[in-house]
Amino acid sequence: MSELFPKYRASWETDQHRELRQHAAAFLAKEATPNQERWAKNHQVDREFWNKLGDAGLLGLDLPEEYGGAGGDFGFSAVVAEEFALAHDSASGWSVHSPIVAHYIDTYGSAEQKARWMPKIISGETVLAIAMTEPGTGSDLQAVRTTAIRDGDDYVINGSKTFISNGSLCDMVVIVAKTDPAQGAAGVSLIVAEVNDLPGFERGRVLEKVGQHGQDTRELFFTDMRVPVANLLGEQEGLGFYQLMSQLARERLVIGSICAGMAEAAVLEAIKYTKEREAFGKPLIKFQHNRFQLAELKAEVLSIKTMVDYCVQALIDGDNDPAIASMGKLIAADRAVAVVDRCVQFFGGYGYMMEYPIGRAYAAARVNKIYGGTSEIMKEIISRTL
């Protein structure tokens, strides 16, 4: 439950969601929060953390029960995404693995593919990544240059990807590639590669990001890498671009939920600090300017939460409207960055130190306006509804 708004309850939030929230909060307080500095130094989480997530039931929240999932709605993922942020986590690639990549396989995979892959995805034995972005392409996914050319019963894949979350620890990668380079968007396909000890697969350098230092973000390279044709997602080639577009609402609302949690966590830290830190003989919160700033920030957090929850409700109701999801991400990302920035100011020089959660949040927040589609792309999508 929200510490800042104890009585707050989203329209979609049931008792099951609230129980899950408490479970996730307790788990992350023990397994994630204390490890942030160490994971940042190692540029990745412990591999065992994925198995612990699986054991805790946090990797199959809205995946089918027949494979070991919880069979919940999208709200299950929204709750846990928010709790990761409230736990000051900026290292885990959970948001990529569980609510995003796993759903490509669940939605577009064949019965045989799901039976083979899904149990290990849900248990944490298999860590997922998705290889979309390339050095020369970002949001324009139909312009990818990675190719997957059929040769008998295999695809021969050549190309490179960058900014790949879970790049160090992933066991399985959903690759966005051109199976017919002459067809533009109609030539894009999604192909699943089981990459451990796979000839032609190479993990590039760990990327030095501004924030999220504990997240194992890498470049990936494919050189004549052979993957079975049976690993194609979907009934035929050329569906990848449309598969990507139909899943982006989920991704953007996961990011929106993270932003809501990040903003609330920052304000909670600021309130705590201003009650403890003294200046001129009294706590910082006793100065009217500081109280008014915190009052504005608390109201700002509520506006972010209600916006995101409206969009989550729409998705739960079956309205997969890209404009609605884009509005949720646009507002949540832009406002969360502003909230975190303002909260840093209360801490003075300490707010600029990475050993403080607020410093890590400041460095981690900015990317939310970029990945999952930039704020400018969100505006373009929304503008088409005007």
∠ Cα 226 121 192 (to 5°): 20
If asked whether residues 58 and 47 sit together in one domain, one would say yes
Separation CA 243–CA 203 (nearest Å)? 26
pLDDT band at 182 (very low <50, low <70, confident <90, very high): confident
Q: Identify the CATH number of the domain in which residue 267 sits.
A: 1.20.140.10
Is 201 inside a domain boundary? yes
pLDDT interval class at 139 (50, 70, 90): low
Read off the pLDDT band of 143 (50, 70, 90).
Answer: confident
Residue 335 forms part of a structural domain: yes
Is 7 part of any domain?
Answer: no
Domain that holds residue 360: 241-384
What is the chain's mean pLDDT, rounded? Answer: 95
Instruction: Extract the tokens encoding 200.
Output: 């032609």
Residue 362, in any domain of the structure: yes
Residue 80 makes CB contacts below 8 A (sequence gap 6+) with 20, 21, 24, 58, 61, 94, 98
Domain boundary among the residues 197, 216, 237 is at 237
| d(C-alpha 87, C-alpha 132), whole Å | 28
Whether 251 is catalytic is: yes
CATH for 79: 1.10.540.10
Is residue 138 very low, low, confident or very high in pLDDT (cuts 50, 70, 90)? low
Pairing, β 128-131 against β 172-178: parallel
- Per DSSP, what are the bridge partners of residue 150? 155
Tell me: do 148 and 101 sit in the same domain.
Answer: no
Task: Give pairs for 361-364: CB < 8 Å, separation 24+.
Answer: 361/88, 361/90, 361/262, 361/265, 361/266, 361/269, 362/211, 363/90, 363/210, 363/211, 363/212, 363/213, 364/90, 364/211, 364/212, 364/262
112 and 138, same domain (yes or no): no
Q: How far apart are CA 216 and CA 208, in angstroms?
A: 10
Q: Give the pLDDT band of residue 144 (cuts 50, 70, 90).
A: confident
pLDDT tens by residue, 229-262: 999 999 999 999 999 989 989 999 999 999 999 9
- Taking only the tens place, the pLDDT of each residue in 61-74 is 999 999 999 999 99
Does residue 86 sit in the same domain as residue 208?
no
The whole-number pLDDT of residue 183 equals 87
| Active-site residue, selected from the candidate residues 13, 31, 134, 251 | 251
Average pLDDT on 275-297 reads: 95
CA 344-346-348 angle, to 5 degrees, is 80
Report the CATH number at residue 209: 2.40.110.10
**Are residues 372 and 246 located together in one domain of the fold?**
yes
Is the pTM of the predicted complex or chain greater than 0.85?
yes
- pLDDT at residue 141 tops 90: no
Quick check: is 183 in a domain? yes
Closest CA to 76 of 24, 22, 20, 29: 20
Q: What is the number of structural domains in the chain?
A: 3
* One domain for residues 152 and 107: no
Q: State the pLDDT at residue 140.
A: 65
How does residue 359 score in pLDDT terms, banded at 50, 70 and 90?
very high
Give the three-state DSSP class for 281.
coil
Q: Tell me, yes or no, whether 68 and 144 share the same domain.
A: no
Is 100 a member of any domain?
Answer: yes
Of 110, 127, 144, which residue is a domain's last? Answer: 127
Residue 1 belongs to a domain: no
**CA-to-CA separations, 59 to 93, 243, 309, in angstroms, rounded:** 11, 22, 21
Residues 25, 101: one domain? yes
The 10s digit of each residue's pLDDT in 189-229 is 999 999 999 999 999 999 999 999 999 999 999 999 999 99
- Assess whether 206 and 151 both reside in one domain: yes
pLDDT at 137 over 80: no
Residues 121 and 153 in one domain: no
Shared domain for 325 and 345, answered yes or no, is: yes
Give tens-digit pLDDT for 72-120. 999 999 999 999 999 999 999 999 999 999 999 999 999 999 999 999 9
Has residue 252 been placed in a domain?
yes
Name the domain boundary from 74, 103, 127: 127
Same domain? 83 vs 159: no
